Structures are given as structure tokens and as C-alpha cells.
Chain A
Amino acid sequence: MTLAISALFVFLVMLGMMLVGLPIAVSMAAVGILGGVAAFGAPFIDSIAPVVWGTLNENLLTCIPLFVLLGELLLRSGIADRMYTALSAWLGGLPGGLLHTNIGACALFSATSGSSVATAATIGTVALPSLHARGYPMRGALGSLAAGGTLGILIPPSVNMIVYGSLTNNSIGKLFIAGIIPGILLTLCFMAYIYGSAVMGGNGMREAPLPLRERVRTLRYLVPPVVVFGIVMGSLYFGIATATESAALGVLVALFFVWRMGKLTREVLETCFLQTARTSGMILLIIVAAFILNLTIGLTGVADAITKWVTSFGLSATAMLLALTVFYLVLGMFMDVLSMQVATIPITYPIIEALGVDPIWYGIYIVLMCELGMITPPVGMNLFVVHGIRPDKGGIQDAIWGALPYAVIMLLFTFLLMAAPWLATWLPGKMA
């Protein structure tokens, strides 16, 4: 038990290092290496070597740069921007008007991109000026965009799921497939809320419907994202391809669409490559650090000790998950969510596993907690993103209040997922 308590203390020190602004990778590696050396002396350094090479030579992780590149290609070529046009034609007529389009476009964009910030920033940039010009109340508009953006990591492909899968040795393909139903359901919950509040509030905005022919014409804008998503997820679901292979297929298909749009230029490619390299470099360094930390946790038996200690309280799985929900809710208020995820999984995963929770389900749960962390103040990444794009003057509190109902919906949705875990586990169970 003393081991468990001292380990928890070290864990808090690591969170402290992160919160005062040291690089995330450094904080994790420092704790991992110092802890390992303290326990085993200098020879520990030698045992890091195969871990570092093993991580950076792991074909599974190759899907990170590939999926990031896929998202960049669709984003920088403008393919993602045009989805908004099509969706506004189809969804704008509902009570709540373009707010539905925001959610829908975010969901579709998420289906091609693994990043929530990119999702909120892109759709927000396209949407906010026109929402403002049409007199949509800013709070509702900002809230829908911030919340919609979080769908980026729940609807596959999702960088956060890849990170979870690699840290816990779970199938990335299964995690992706598991995200589909919750992703669609959460999207519908958001839209139901917009619909309901527009009808009940009596002042909902609504767009004049376009003629059907015009609407059908806009459908072609949806072809690229739908085809890319279909190929990536289809090949995974039917067992044709691994995560890395499906990403490679997706990249080539995206490249084809970029070429068809006449955007296969030096500038576009250069931006895509540079951005992909920067994002992947950031993620991969954190993963290397996380694996070093994992090595220490594994060798010292800390995870076992903590698991024994926590389970000795006799909490049920549900009680544990509720406690974790509070923990993640608070942590997510202050931390970047990717960092939160890598920092906590090595500790929480073994506990949850010991309590018999399905590991794929827990992956979806963690992603939901990360989503929540993106729209809870003071450090909700997406709140700042949409606030940064808003065309009028106004405080960050508009984004915070606007997103609050969605945060509540997400929390309720998490409870729903606890009550009905099959929502996440049914589809991956049917995979070929």
C-alpha cells in the first residue's frame, strides 16, 4: 500500500509539472526515467533502448501520420469547407436552422479528421461570419460549434483512439468501429437539443428551404468525405485492412479528390506535409514518453499495487466509473485532453480492467471524457477556438454559456453509455 500511495504522489507531481507549463512529453519521461532509475539504478537506462526503437518502429503507430495526413489533405484542399454548403441546404430548414448545419458539418468533418481543434476551427471559420450576418444569437452559435467540434475525436478516425489503443494494446480498428454508433447518437442528441430549444423558445432561426433541384446539386460536395469515410471504415469493418492499411487507402483516395478539385499544387502539398509532420511529431514524442513511463510502471509493479489498493475499497465498476467521471471532469477543466489521456490511462486502465469493464467500451468512455474536457472552462480548448474566430466583439463567457447545455448532454450521454454499454460494444463485436 505504501507503494501505491507513493506512486499516487509521484503521479500528482507529474500532473503538477504539466500544469506549470513544462512540455507534456518531458514531464512524463522525467517521471518515468527518474522513477525507473530510483528503483533499478543506472541499468534501467539500457532497458529503455528497445522500448524507444520498438515504439518508433511499430507499424501500428504508422497510422498516426497517415490519418493526420488524410485529414490535412481534405482540409487544405477546401473539400471539407464545401461540405458546409451542402449541409446547410439540407439541414437549414429545421427549426434551429444553421445550428443544425454546424453540428452536421462537424460530424461529417470528424469522419475524415482525427482532430477536434481542426474540426471546430474549420467549420467555425466557414460558419461564423454568415451566422453573424444573419443575426443568429452568438451564444447558441458558438456553443454549437464548440460542442460539434468535439465530435472530431469520437467519430473515427480519431487520434485519441489510436493513442488509447496503442497504450493499452487494444485493436485500433475495433475502437474506431465502436465510436460510430455513439458518435451518431451524440450528434442526434445535439440536434434534438437545438430543435427542442428552437421550438420551445419560440425564437428559433430557420432558413428558407431551397428548391429540391438545388439541394440535390449540392450533394456532390458530400461525395469526397463520404467516399473516404466509407473506404476507411468499410475496409476496417470487413477485415480487409488493418488501421494502417485503411489509412493508406484513405490517403490515396483523398489525393485523388484533391487532384480532381485542381488543388494538387506544390503549396497545398507543402502545407499538408508540414502540418502533418508537426502534429505527428508532437503526438509521437508524447507516445515515446508514455511508453517509457509505462515501462517503469510495469517493472516496478506500481500499477498492480494501485489496482489492489483501489479495489480493496470494494467499489463496484459503476461506482468507480462515476468517481472517474468526476476526476476527469475536474482534470479536463485544466488540462489539454490528449495530455490528460496519456497521463491517466496507465493508472486507470488496469483498475478498470480488474473491475471487469470492457476495454473497448472504456476507450469510448475516455474519449467522451476528453470531449467534455474540450468545452469545460477555464481550459476548454474548443471554447477558445470558437471564441478566437467570432466576428463580433464579446467575451469568452458567451462561448462558455453557449456550450454548457452541450456539456450537460455529454454527461448524460456518458451515463446512458454506462447503462447501455452495448451501444459501444455491439458493432465491434460483429466485425469480420
Chain B
Amino acid sequence: MNPVQRFLAWVFGAIFLGLSVVVSVETLARKLFNYSIQGADELGGYALAAGSVIAFSLALVGRNHIRVDVFHERFSPRAQAVMNVLSYVLLAVLAVLIAFVAFKVVQDTRAYGSTAPTPWQTPLIWPQGVWYAGLVVFALVTIGYAARATLLLVQGRIDEVNHHFQPKSVKEEVKEEVDDFAQRSGGPELLRPAAEASPAPREPA
């Protein structure tokens, strides 16, 4: 994993771990002491706004944005390459469009100096600014991917297109899970070898 991804993963994790602490304290304080530290809901919304835009980019780099591959894998390599490029180009169009509408949101907020309709009266430009920045990054990353895929296709490097931009297959996902399992445990010694298998046609117990 490259350092940028790693850093973003930690930022993402920190946002939601931090949020979990605040929300849990709020929930317990409300129930146990009937005391509410207002605003945990609001914070949850901002956490999602900031976290989701990071997550969009990480999902893109990890090829996690779902595509159905049942018919795709039956296409000829050339057709597959065209579909792969098209997928990334359209993803880039979507990312740019979302960033564009986000810009309108931010513009309006600035024009009216909008604040959240909550006790905190948060100036919305802060969370929205972070959110917008994240969407711009997502758009740029997606454009980069789309450009690279297109370039490879134009150069006729079909195999490379298909190697880098194929939908993620179940096989890959399973391999990731199995590798992680092998790493976190010593292997199948989890299951105690005490019991022996016995083919046993018996009455119901």
C-alpha cells in the first residue's frame, strides 16, 4: 500500500473512531444522566461528508466500485478493454459532475453565509469546504485513471488495459480474505483436533 493511501486510511479511521467516542458519550450521558451534549448528530453528518469523499477515492484505487462481470468476462479482450476504458471515463464524468454540483453548494453557502440550523450554528462553509476539496481530489484521481486507461487503449496495449482496469473478480476478493486469514492466524489449528470424524448412521438424538 502506498503512503498516501495509508495516510488517507488513517484519516478515515480516525474520523470514525473519534466520532464513535463522541456519539457513545452523548448516548450514555443522555440515558444515564439525562444530560445531552448537543450536536453529536450534526457531527455525525460532517464525519460522513468528510469520510465518504476520502472513501470514494480509496475505493477507486482499490477497484472496489462494483461492476457486474458475468457477461463482461465473456467478451473478446478488445471489447473488454473498450468497456473498461468506458467505465473509467464515465466514472470520471460522474466524479466531475458531482464536484461541479458541490461547487454550487459551496458557492451558495458563501453567498449567504449559511450556518447549520442547529444549536451550534456551524458555519457550513467549513464542513462543506472539506467535502468539496475531497470531491475535487476524487475527480482528479478518477480523471487520471480514465486518462491512463484511454492512453493505453489508444496505443493498442489491450492486455495492460485489461490487467489494470478489469472489474474486481470474486476470485481476487476471496484471495484477499484468505491471505488476511492466513496472516492473522497460524492456520487451521483453530479447530481442535480432538474430535474424530465418524460416519455414523444413528437415530436422532
- Residue positions of A touching B, CB distance < 8 A: 18-26, 29-30, 33, 45-46, 48-50, 52-53, 56-59, 61-62, 65-66, 69, 76-78, 81-82, 84-85, 88-89, 92-95, 97, 117-118, 121-122, 125-127, 129-130, 134-136, 195, 199, 202-210, 214, 235, 240-241, 244-245, 247-249, 251-252, 255, 263, 268-274, 276-282, 284-286, 288-289, 334-336, 338-339, 378-379, 381, 384-385, 388-389
In the complex, what residue of chain B is closest to A208 when comparing beta carbons?
B195
CB distance B83 to A59 under 8 Å?
A: no
Residues of the A chain whose Cβ atoms lie less than 8 Å from the Cβ of B44: 59, 62, 244
Contact status A278-B58, CB under 8 Å: yes
Whether a CB of chain A sits under 8 angstroms from the CB of B57 is yes
Sampled A-B contacts (19; CB under 8 Å)? A20-B71, A21-B67, A23-B87, A26-B90, A45-B101, A85-B191, A97-B197, A117-B173, A135-B197, A203-B201, A205-B198, A208-B198, A248-B24, A248-B27, A274-B58, A280-B59, A281-B59, A281-B65, A335-B68
Q: Which residue of B lies closest to A239 (CB)?
A: B31
Known: A125-B178, A251-B20, A277-B55. A95 touches B205 (CB 8 A): yes
Question: In the complex, what residues of A have CB within 8 A of residue B102's CB?
Answer: 49, 52-53
Instruction: Say whether B178 contacts A334, CB under 8 Å.
Output: no
A90 to B124, CA, bound (A): 55
CA distance in complex: A30, B90 (Å): 9
**Cβ–Cβ < 8 Å partners of A244 in chain B:** 23, 41, 44
Beyond A95-B202, A282-B59, whether A277 also contacts B19 by CB under 8 A is no
Residues on the B chain within 8 Å of A92, using CB: 195
Is chain B's binding surface mostly helix, strand, loop or mixed?
helix
Distance between Cα atoms of A94 and B167 in the complex (Å): 42
Q: How far is the CB of A280 from chain B (nearest CB, A)?
A: 5
Is residue B111 within 8 Å, beta carbon to beta carbon, of the partner chain?
Answer: no
* CB-based contact A59/B48 at 8 Å: yes
Chain A residue at minimal CB-CB distance from B51: A65
Identify the closest chain A residue to B127 (Cβ): A57
Q: Mark B23-51, 1 if CB is under 8 A from A, else 0.
A: 11011000100000000111011111101
Q: Are A273 and B13 in contact (CB under 8 A)?
A: yes
A25 CA to B91 CA, complexed, in Å: 8
Please tell me if the beta carbons of B71 and A21 are within 8 angstroms of each other in the complex: yes
List residues of chain A with CB within 8 A of the CB of B53.
Answer: 56
Q: A24-B66, A281-B59 are in contact. List 11 more A-B contacts (CB 8 A).
A: A25-B65, A52-B102, A56-B53, A62-B44, A62-B48, A199-B202, A204-B200, A205-B199, A270-B6, A273-B10, A277-B55
Contact call B16/A288, Cβ cutoff below 8 A: no
- B89-117 Cβ-contact flags toward A at 8 Å (1 or 0): 01100100110111011001000000000
> B154 in the interface, Cβ–Cβ < 8 Å?
no
- Inter-chain contacts of A46 with B (CB < 8 A): 101, 104
Contact A282 B65 (CB under 8 A): yes
Contacts of A210 in B (CB 8 A): 192, 194-195
The distance in angstroms between the C-alpha atoms of A94 and B86, with both chains bound, is 53
**Chain A min CB distance to B128 (Å):** 7
Contact between A121 and B65, CB atoms less than 8 A apart: no
On chain A, the residues within 8 Å of B173 by CB distance are 117, 121, 385
Q: Are B59 and A81 neighbours in the complex by a CB distance under 8 Å?
A: no
| Min C-beta distance of B146 to chain A, whole Å | 12
Q: Does B152 contact A (CB under 8 A)?
A: no
